[in-house]
Every structure is written in C-alpha cells, then in structure tokens.
Chain A
C-alpha cells in the first residue's frame, strides 16, 4: 500500500458522485428517444392457469394504442436461456423447460407476462392493458417445496416429475453416515433460509430501438452485464448477430444480482421496436418488480454436524431443497449447488462433507442469485449449526471455531468440497472482531441490560466466500455454458490521456474511481487523465460483467494485464527515442528510464510518439498505443472474516435492537478503503434485513402477499446502528493485485451473527433456534413457547 493521494490504498473520493448528487445521472428511464413509445405488460393474476384465449380487440381500439402483442407474435423466437446446466446424481441433465418470452397457453406464476400493449404514452398503455381480456382456467398452485415434491397438487411443468428440476449431490454419503453414527456428539438443525426480493432502488427498465435504415438494434437496459445480455438475447432468443445488436447499460441504480439475468422485457421491447418501427420503452413499477424480478435464497434445509469429544468437527451432512420458482433464471441452477455446497467447509477443517440439493419448481417468481448467492446459505447453515453445537457441548463460541480453523500454515488448503483456498488467516480476523466488540465484557453488559428488563446477547459468524468468479475451465466442467474471464482495453490517447474500457459494470460499486486508482498508480499518471468506460457493447470490446464480487479481482486483473502490455510497448518506443535497448528501459512513476543513466522520457512523450511516429521503430512496432487483455483467473478468491453482533431483546414485545455489529474482513489488498467500507456497510444492512425484516411471502394459492413496501419490510435508517469495520490482509496469491473482492461479504457474514446473538439473548429461556426473519412476533412467540 502506498500513501499517495490517488493511487492504490488511498481513500479517493468518488469521481462518479458529482453527477449523482447534482441530479445529472443518466439512468435508462431518463433516456427519451425521438418518437419513443411505451409498453405496458399484462401479467397473470393467477399462480397457475391455462390460457383459453386472449381478446385484444378492445385494447387495440383505445386511444393512443399502436399495437397489442401476445405469444403469437413471438412464435419465431426461442425461450429465455439458462446459463448453467447441472446434472442429477443419476447422471441425467436437469429438467430444463422452455421459458417463453410471453406465456404460451399457460401461466406459471403471478406476474408471468401474457400480453404487451404499446401506446404513445405510459398512461394510455396502462389504460389499454387493463382492457386486454384474458380467459384463464385456474389450476392448483404448487407453492411449498415439501408439498411440491411429495404430494404435488399439480406439475409446474409436465416434464418435471414431482416438480424436481434436479437432484444433485456432492460427497460420499456412506462415509458421512458412518461418521455421524459413530461420533461423540451430533448436532442437528432444521431451518429455512428465507425468500428475499432484491429491491435495487431503481426498478428495471428497457428501451428497444430498431434502426430501420440499417437493421441495427439498440437495447438500453438496466443490466449488470450488457455483453452477456447481448450474447444471451442475440444468440439464443432473437437470432440477432452481435454486430447488429448494441446493448447499453448506462447508470444503473443497484443490482445485487437481480440485474444479471436476461429478462423477457428486454426481448419484448427489442422485438416490438422492430414491429412498429419506433423505440419502445418499458419501465417497471415497484409492484411489478416484486412479481417479475428474480427473487433470492429460499432453501429448506436439514443439517447434521458430527463432533468428537474435543469439539472437533468430523462430518457435515446437508440436505437442502432449493426453490427454482416457475422457470430457470439465467444462473439459478448453480446457486444452490456450486456456490453453496462447495462453501460448506467454511473456515474449518471438517474432513467429511456431503450435500444433497433438490431443486424444485414451484408456481412462484424465478429464484436466482441475490447478493452472496449460495454463500450466505452455506454460511448461515454452518455458523448456526456450530453455534448450536457449541451450546450443546458446552464450548465457548470463539473456542469451538478456533479448534477447527484451518491454520495459516496449512494453505493452500484443499477442502473436501472441491475448492482449494489459497490463503487466509482466520484467527487474525476473529481476534480483531472479538477485541473490537469487547467480547469478554458481555457478561457484564448482559447483567446491566437485565436490570433494565432487556435480554442482551452476542453472536459470532466466521464466513468464507468464493469470489472473483471464476476460472472458466472450472466453471465449464461444472456446467457453466459460458467462460467467466474479463476483458479490458487501455487506450492511451495521443496527448497521453487514458481511456480504460472495462467489461465490468458499475452500478454503485465505484469502478470509475477504483479502476482509475489502479491505472493511475501503475502508469504514474494523474487520475484526472484517466477515464473509465463501461456498460456499452458498442464501446467496449467484450466483457462478462459484475457479480460475485468479481470486478476488482477479475476485471481489475484484466486492466493490469492490459497496462503491462502498454508499458511493454512503451518501453520499446522509449528505447528507440533514447537510443537504448528496450531491455535496459525501466518504467517508474510515469517515466521511462534507461537503468543506471539519467536518460529518461516521460509517458506523454511516448504516447505522442506512438501517434505522431516521425521517429518510430516501424520495423518492430505498429503505431498507436492501445492494448486489450483478457484475464481468466486461476482460482476463485477467498475473502473471509469474522462478524460479531450484539443485540438487545425487549421480552415484552419481542423487538430486537441491534446494539453493535463489528465486521473484521480479509479482502486481500484494498484499493480504496472508503469504497470497501461502504460495500461492507451496505452488505451488513442487507444481511440484517434478511435476519430481522425481509421475507417474500406467498399464500397457499401462490399470491405474493408482500408485493409492496407496505408489506415487504425494507431496512430503514432507524432500523440499524453505526458499524465498526476493519481489515486484516492476506493477499490473494494468484491475481496481480492480490485482491479478493468485497461486494458480498457483509450480506454473507451478518445473518448468522444476528440470529446467533438473538439465540444467545433468549438462551435463558432454552430457545435453541429462531427462523429468519426474526420478527417481533416470532421472538415473542419463541419466548412464550419456552416459558
């Protein structure tokens, strides 16, 4: 780390902030194209029904209406593709039913799109959408996973027997069962991981714009990965080749996973624009978002942890049902499998691990990755069952974890669930978190709270995640249908200013600052001379986008590789200018120097020479100074940390107050600590939201009861405290920046810390577990039941 004002390690204020605080951001819905029209989508009010007919006549005749589209208009096109294929234990590929753009003959969840009205104004489109008459015959709905499998009222897809998409396993079940049978102690925990709605504050929006003069399509969309959308929609759905399709995701108001996927509305506006010869915009409202954005989590799990007499973990057995919803969203199958089961070793040396995952179709909105994606589920499982085990065998919560930690001298560490951790120091983050949270003083604080009629509790959570997704060869062998490298281009302009074209996408993460810091440091240039360009397939050669905390670890590494190429070429140009051998030229602080001499030439002169090559080594080099690099990581990165949460419960009402939450993280090297801390803060509150407030609830008929902020409890400013955050550093060993990624940690580590703290507070009543979200009613009920 250096202490420069704008390089790596500096708390540089964000360069993107100015436009946002002035109200000058450009989000998709802010874009108005000439002759733009508006789409309103008619959505299914039923969870499961056959469509007998659609009467669009009245709607088509209403003022301002241009066209009404139904499934018939999309017959020529493919369904929305799934990007990951998982195989069942018996070798069968997952059941992968078609996901039509508009429901074709049958609707499978409330919100399934059925028809589209295009009109001259938003209000006219909405008015006419109400006049589209759909004749449905309702079918029984499948909502709860256990019922869906064992006693299905209906099949969501005829081809999926018992509504099972796949039945997947990892590990040796026989060995596990033997280890559990002979263990000194076995702790069992059955629980659900609650279903969540991501709720990026910007609702999704898409504008299709077909250029009748040349046949080019432009899609403006709220996406975390425009190139991926171009590939998925262009190649698999609409058969538009890449050179005729531009996908542009300008400022995007948060994603948290929900804007990774290719959604029907993107294809709808693209097709509609060609049909009517005008741009077509669709903007989701919040209610529509609740019933059309992919949800997250939703597991029902039974876990068993076997321990020896010293509290050492012997074996972990996990059986999970994972809700896929009504259709397979883009990444859905990999979330409960390769992003969940492979993380079940956590920070511990558990020698035997077995996981069985049954993926289940239900008549609910598709479920896919949401901040953390699989890793919060794994962390919650592990840290809850360890907490319970410690109480059962009478060990301190920190001590039981310490006894099982992988030690610093044991890296690289091969877990029994496929991953190889490169580096870490789990004792260091635990020690820092315990110290910062005054763990040793809890007994006194509990007594003091009790005197006020409150119950105080403390909870620990030691998480690990696999980030920097991901080595293409690894994910390919696991069923990914794409590679997961990243691309970057460094364009040094003639006057020495620098455009960095990155395939990563910033929707709040601050890439325009962090990436510029990396380039500023490596090229020794003022940060103001560096521009980060992202989000536009027309300007950026290629990219895989931002998710899985991959931007700095993969996208940043690609930038470094491209910078290295710039420096290598620059050295040759400089050597020519200085009449030296390129091997003798070194690059330091923005100057090319001949080692051991006082000869030097600055970066700007080399750039100018590259574009005004009057004196240039043509025999060896082409003019220009622009380099592209693709970086495919050798391994995942493994951020890890320890969180300590302290709560106070009001036993009269069941209200839980978070008194403090300390996060001690190891993200490897940190480029901008201010931005990293901000990422942790945001993740912590999403985790607290999951633990205390948030749940997407369906009734037995498949109606979403929590389809607005009146019923879906979003964390507000007064629901949470200030946080303390610190960083311990073990640098990643296999990427050039030594970085690990920080985007998801807070949401992964915090839910079990909160719930463990509540269970601790309620332990005097004998409460062993409480389900998320731990609402006041649930906490009060747990106290009453225990009394």
Chain B
C-alpha cells in the first residue's frame, strides 16, 4: 500500500492507502471532508472539484497516491471558520444554489476560473463552467454570482 503525504486545507496528512483509492474517497472517507461530492462516474459533472496545488481538479479522476506531495484545498478549506470567501458570499447573495449538491465543486471551479481570468465576460463564465453540471438553478444565478465575485475580488 503506498504511503501518501499531502497537505489538505493547510494540515499535513500522511496515511497508507490502497493504491486504487481515489482522491475523493480519501477526502470523504478517511478525512471526513464530505463537502466534496460525487455526482457521476465519467468525469463530467464536476461535483468533486477540489484544488490541487491551487488548480481545479476532478478528485474522482485522480488517485490519492497521485496527490502525494501536493497541496489540496477542498470547499471546507476555502475560507476560515464562519467566514466566507467572496465566491461563497456571491453564491449566497445571488441565489446561485438550490439543492447545494453541485455547489462545492461549482465554487471551486469558479475560483479557478477567476484565477485565470479575473474579468470574465458572461460567455467566458459560461464556457469556464462547462465542466460542472447543475440541475437546479439553470445556471442563470450562478453566472451572476461569478460575475459579482469577480468584481468583488478585483476591488
């Protein structure tokens, strides 16, 4: 069994895992970080998106062993305590979520999107979120939320 060591939400973890353990299962089952979800099995839906070394990755399509030595951030680590990251605040302010299941992955992808493009157009936001499926909101308010967060994070 490979031993993996990584930093998750700022904390060092070092555990032996079965080689076939997916990063998402490692986070959910071993670290009890259940904010990261699994919505499909073909790397399409994006409910499992976390940041690996600061960039969005689908944690259902990555072995825990591949994250050895990496810095992993999940939705639980995006902001401290009861604080909100500007993206989280924007999702709430704009009713950018309903059932909440896709929301953590959507937020993590949206943060990655703004890191690459701090001033995206509406079309760029929509294109940038193509790897995250939401069945509730029709995306309208998610797009608004990302635009608000972009504005907040620029200022």
Given contacts A709-B45, A717-B129, contact A675 B95 (CB under 8 A): yes
Question: How far is B106's CA from A716's CA once the two chains are assembled, in angstroms?
Answer: 12
Given contacts A13-B93, A23-B34, A123-B20, contact A201 B134 (CB under 8 A): yes
Choose among B135, B138, B142, B143 the residue that contacts A746 (Cβ–Cβ < 8 A): B138
Contact assessment for B101 and A201 in the assembled complex, using a CB-CB cutoff below 8 Å: yes
Number of A-B contacts (CB under 8 A): 185
Using Cβ atoms and an 8 Å threshold, which residues of chain B touch A17?
Answer: 91-92, 97, 100
Interface string of B119-143 (1 = CB under 8 A from A): 0001101110110111111111111
Given contacts A508-B98, A716-B133, contact A710 B42 (CB under 8 A): yes
Contact assessment for A21 and B103 in the assembled complex, using a CB-CB cutoff below 8 Å: yes
In the complex, what residue of chain A is closest to B43 when comparing beta carbons? A709
Using Cβ atoms and an 8 Å threshold, which residues of chain B touch A457?
Answer: none
Contact assessment for B41 and A717 in the assembled complex, using a CB-CB cutoff below 8 Å: no
Min C-beta distance of A505 to chain B, whole Å: 12
Contact assessment for B91 and A21 in the assembled complex, using a CB-CB cutoff below 8 Å: yes
Contact assessment for A714 and B18 in the assembled complex, using a CB-CB cutoff below 8 Å: no
Min C-beta distance of A222 to chain B, whole Å: 10
Question: Which B residues between 69 and 120 are near A, CB-CB below 8 angstroms?
Answer: 74-76, 78-79, 82, 84, 88, 91-93, 95, 97-104, 107
Given contacts A22-B35, A722-B140, contact A200 B99 (CB under 8 A): yes
Question: How far is B62's CA from A29's CA once the two chains are assembled, in angstroms?
Answer: 20
**Partner-A contacts on B (CB < 8 A):** 18, 20, 25, 28-29, 32-42, 44-45, 47, 74-76, 78-79, 82, 84, 88, 91-93, 95, 97-104, 107, 122-123, 125-127, 129-130, 132-143
Question: In the complex, given contacts A203-B38, A709-B42, what are 15 additional A-B residue pairs having Cβ atoms less than 8 angstroms apart?
Answer: A13-B92, A22-B84, A27-B37, A199-B135, A201-B134, A251-B99, A253-B100, A254-B98, A254-B136, A678-B141, A709-B44, A710-B44, A717-B125, A718-B130, A723-B138
Contact assessment for B135 and A714 in the assembled complex, using a CB-CB cutoff below 8 Å: yes
Min C-beta distance of B56 to chain A, whole Å: 15
Contact assessment for A20 and B103 in the assembled complex, using a CB-CB cutoff below 8 Å: yes
Given contacts A253-B99, A682-B98, contact A23 B137 (CB under 8 A): no
In the complex, whether A24 has a CB less than 8 A from a CB of chain B is yes
Contact assessment for A202 and B99 in the assembled complex, using a CB-CB cutoff below 8 Å: yes
Given contacts A123-B20, A201-B102, A285-B41, contact A714 B133 (CB under 8 A): yes
Using Cβ atoms and an 8 Å threshold, which residues of chain A touch B28?
Answer: 30
Using Cβ atoms and an 8 Å threshold, which residues of chain B touch A708?
Answer: 40-42, 44
Min C-beta distance of B82 to chain A, whole Å: 8
In the complex, what residue of chain A is closest to B101 when comparing beta carbons? A253
Using Cβ atoms and an 8 Å threshold, which residues of chain A touch B136?
Answer: 201, 254, 508, 678, 682
Please name the 10 residue pairs, one residue from A and one from B, whose CB atoms are nearest each other, closest first: A23-B35, A253-B101, A20-B100, A508-B99, A23-B75, A681-B138, A685-B138, A508-B98, A709-B44, A30-B34
Interface string of A180-217 (1 = CB under 8 A from B): 00000000000000000001111100000000000000
Question: How far is B70's CA from A662's CA once the two chains are assembled, in angstroms?
Answer: 47
Question: How far is B78's CA from A203's CA once the two chains are assembled, in angstroms?
Answer: 25
Contact assessment for A286 and B39 in the assembled complex, using a CB-CB cutoff below 8 Å: yes
In the complex, what residue of chain A is closest to B99 when comparing beta carbons? A508
Question: How far is B47's CA from A23's CA once the two chains are assembled, in angstroms?
Answer: 11
Min C-beta distance of B89 to chain A, whole Å: 8
Question: How far is B34's CA from A584's CA once the two chains are assembled, in angstroms?
Answer: 55
Contact assessment for B88 and A22 in the assembled complex, using a CB-CB cutoff below 8 Å: yes
In the complex, what residue of chain A is closest to B34 when comparing beta carbons? A30
In the complex, whether A489 has a CB less than 8 A from a CB of chain B is no
Contact assessment for B92 and A722 in the assembled complex, using a CB-CB cutoff below 8 Å: no
Question: How far is B143's CA from A286's CA once the two chains are assembled, in angstroms?
Answer: 26
Choose among B44, B74, B82 the residue that contacts A23 (Cβ–Cβ < 8 A): B74
Choose among A18, A32, A253, A254 the residue that contacts B92 (Cβ–Cβ < 8 A): A18
Interface string of A275-297 (1 = CB under 8 A from B): 00000000001110000000000
Choose among B45, B92, B122, B140 the residue that contacts A201 (Cβ–Cβ < 8 A): B45
